[in-house]
Amino acid sequence: MRYAAGWRSRVALGIPAGLALLLLVVPLVALMLRADWARVPSDLATPTVLPALRLSLTTTSITAALCLLLGTPLAWFLARSDHRATSWVRALLTVPLVLPPVVGGVALLMTWGRTGLVGQHLTPFGIQIPFTTVAVVLAETFVAMPYYVLAVEGAMRGLDPRLEAVARTLGATDLRYLRTVGIPLVLPGIASGLALAWARALGEFGATITFAGNFQGRTQTLPLLVYVELERDPQVAISISIMLLAVSVLVLGVLRGRWLR
Amino acid sequence: MSAPRSHADGLDARVRLSRGTMDLDVPLTAEPGQVIGVLGPNGGGKTTTVLALAGVLALEEGHVRVGGDVWDDGRRRLAPERRRVGLMLADSLLFPHLRAVDNVAYGPRSRGVDHHRARERAHLELERVGLADRAASRPRELSSGQQARVALARALATDPALLLLDEPLAALDPDTRARTRSDLAARLTAYDGVTVIVTHDPLDALTLADHLVFVEDGRVTQSGTPAEVLSEPRSAYVGTVVGLNLYAGQGDSHGHVTTVKGGVVVTTSPTEGSVWATVPPSAVSLHLHEPEGSPRNAWRLRIASVTMQGQSARVGLVGELPLTAEVTLESVTALGLQVGQEVWAAVKATEVRTYPR
């Protein structure tokens, strides 16, 4: 009887579990089945794809650099502070993680638009941000930065605070400690944070199309091009998708193999 | 050899601060070359004292003066990196990404010594702890004992005037601990600054320190040379550490000591007034029947615990006078001692020592 009950519960749980797995896996399989593998290389070399590829690579690289330069110090402050305000800042940081990207795009327009909070002060100087490549970078940074900061802060919190105490007694100032011990020890965290942020930026669609538009060579990144090509030439859309899927798997593999435990 | 040294050249500190529920007030003085052993139960304030001396924590009141320099006067605190201090903690806390030699050179480098001379010094310090051949090893390639020795070399490479060792041997297994303890003792003999070593291991304290300070609940409960402390413990904790049965009580001229819990101990060396009385566990004999003859102390007590230590057993007894007896394994089996059983414990009056409280 007990065996029968085990068997039953296995079926009762196995069916929904299998369904969940299928819901995730079948689309990926379908994408690969529908791909015309022989055409993939030539599809990726068309005059519409190349500019989008170049734009995606440039903007995501700049985004990653911004995360590194601005996000690392922010992560450091968050990691070493026990102040009540810190948990509020951390909560604020997670908002872009769960916010619908299109809402992010609207928020960015309200900030940098012609009459926006910041944008209205730029207009007199002839500086226009929306619908430019700069806007693409801002949109990608908006969605990617939280991933980076939270990953690096986690790594920094993992450091034994007594290491810093010892370094200080040895004569190291705050900055020397950070340069010679703190940062080198969180390099794996920085690397995985960068990979996560970069992958998120590469896939960014909603905020970009809302805030930066869809102009070939200027704001049309790969995800936007996929959306356009699906109407025009689905096979090209599939080929680009295959490439993006490959890149995602690659990033995941790098994270898994070296930094994710 | 050299001019007489005083506390002015060494350590003169009074550490006053509160942290959480603990209110700490610990005076510490030492001459150069002295090794102060700080003992006490966990949470009593030992580590906090060390961190305040290092400058990681600020004093609220009091002072820290080392070698004539003011490190903290309760108002202004010199940052740790500006103190001539060395710190070594239980986990050796080596920088895991640096080789042994670079760990040791880290201090001199941070204090502005050029790369070449810092490395030379690091090699010298590694040699002094017997690790000249492991200079190129990363911390994870070293045994725990070797890591501890590298940490010691690193702490000493900056010529600190004050060396702070917080449970330096606690993380080591017993074999390694014994060997590292003697390495540490050898290295400390050659060091001419003040050493403060925090430990809860009496053996560490007795073999390494020449002066002991007991800190309990933020206060110093006893201080003195190891010999003084061993013969005249002055708190229940110190009694446990030195392995004596210790009772606070009132003594009369006839040699009767009435303990605060009501038990009576008889001694041949009476002290009048408030006294401490000690009974060595090895002086306690156990009997199934009331003993006859010479012993003037005999109590009927219940066995609460029996633990073995090598060829002897420690028997914890409770009743009118809580007592620990150390007896041979043979007598445990001969008497058939069992937890819960009632036995007679006898102690000769000549074995009971008393001294003013």
B195 and B131 co-located in one domain: yes
Taking an 8 Å cut-off on Cβ atoms, the answer to whether A165 and B83 are in contact is no
> Would you state the structure tokens that stand for residue B199, as one six-digit string?
């430990």
Domain that holds residue B273: 244-356
- Region B52-76 average pLDDT: 91
> Which of B219, B237, B255 is the C-terminal boundary of a domain?
B237
Nearest CB neighbour to B85, from listed A169, A172, A173: A169
Domain that holds residue A131: 48-259
- Confirm whether B208 is domain-assigned: yes
- Confirm whether A26 is domain-assigned: no
Number of helical H runs and strand E runs in chain A: 14, 0
- Confirm whether A209 is domain-assigned: yes
Q: What is the pLDDT of residue B156?
A: 92
Ranges of residues in chain A with a pLDDT under 70 are 1-5, 257-261
Determine phi and psi for A53, rounding to 5 degrees: -60, -45
- Confirm whether B199 is domain-assigned: yes
B35 and B177 co-located in one domain: yes
CA gap B87, B54 in Å, rounded: 7
Shortest distance between the Cα of B5 and any Cα of chain A, in A, equals 25
Helix (H, G, I), strand (E, B) or coil at B264: strand
Q: What is the pLDDT of residue A261?
A: 45
B109 and B179 co-located in one domain: yes
- Confirm whether A112 is domain-assigned: yes
The predicted-structure confidence for B189-200, as pLDDT tens digits, reads as follows: 889 999 999 988
The predicted-structure confidence for B225-249, as pLDDT tens digits, reads as follows: 988 888 888 888 888 888 889 998 8
- Confirm whether B215 is domain-assigned: yes
The DSSP letter of residue B5 is P
- Confirm whether A66 is domain-assigned: yes
- Confirm whether A19 is domain-assigned: no
B186 and B269 co-located in one domain: no
**Is pLDDT of B317 > 80?**
yes
Q: What is the pLDDT of residue A82?
A: 79
For the ranges A23-27, B287-291, B345-349, the one whose mean pLDDT is highest? A23-27
CATH number at A158 reads 1.10.3720.10
Taking an 8 Å cut-off on Cβ atoms, the answer to whether A165 and B107 are in contact is no
B257 and B194 co-located in one domain: no
Chain mean pLDDT for chain A: 90
The DSSP letter of residue B355 is E
DSSP H/E element including B309 = strand B297-309
Percent of chain B whose pLDDT exceeds 70: 97
Q: What is the pLDDT of residue B200?
A: 82
Stretch among A135-139, B293-297, B300-304 having the lowest mean pLDDT:
B293-297
Taking an 8 Å cut-off on Cβ atoms, the answer to whether A172 and B81 are in contact is yes
- Confirm whether A41 is domain-assigned: no
Chain A residue nearest residue B162, CA to CA: A169
Q: What is the pLDDT of residue A250?
A: 86
* Contact yes or no for B65/B12 (Cβ under 8 A): yes
Closest CA to A170 of A181, A160, A159: A181
- Confirm whether B270 is domain-assigned: yes
The predicted-structure confidence for B161-183, as pLDDT tens digits, reads as follows: 999 999 988 888 888 888 888 88
Nearest CB neighbour to B54, from listed A165, A176, A184: A165
The predicted model scores a pTM of 0.78
B115 and B135 co-located in one domain: yes
**Is pLDDT of B1 > 50?**
no
**Is pLDDT of B6 > 70?**
no
Closest CA to B160 of A170, A206, A90, A27: A170
Shortest distance between the Cα of A158 and any Cα of chain B, in A, equals 14
Q: What is the pLDDT of residue B203?
A: 85
Domain count, chain B: 2
Q: What is the pLDDT of residue B3?
A: 46
Nearest CB neighbour to A169, from listed B87, B95, B96: B87
Taking an 8 Å cut-off on Cβ atoms, the answer to whether B86 and A173 are in contact is no
Sort residue B112 into left (φ over 0), alpha (ψ -120 to 50) or beta: left
- Confirm whether A193 is domain-assigned: yes
ipTM of the modeled complex: 0.79
Chain B residue nearest residue A183, CA to CA: B97
Q: What is the pLDDT of residue A255?
A: 75
- Confirm whether B85 is domain-assigned: yes
Taking an 8 Å cut-off on Cβ atoms, the answer to whether A166 and B93 are in contact is yes
- Region B61-88 average pLDDT: 91
Taking the Cβ of residue A165 and every Cβ of chain B, the question of whether any pair is shorter than 8 Å is answered with yes
- Region B264-281 average pLDDT: 89
- Confirm whether A25 is domain-assigned: no
A171 Cβ contact partners less than 8 Å away, ≥ 6 residues apart: B81, B107, B110, B111, B158
B317 and B269 co-located in one domain: yes
Domain count, chain A: 1
CATH number at B331 reads 2.40.50.100
> Would you state the structure tokens that stand for residue B38, as one six-digit string?
């700080």
- Confirm whether B162 is domain-assigned: yes
B49 Cβ contact partners less than 8 Å away, ≥ 6 residues apart: B15, B24, B26, B28, B38, B198, B215
> Which of B218, B237, B256 is the C-terminal boundary of a domain?
B237
Chain B residue nearest residue A166, CA to CA: B87
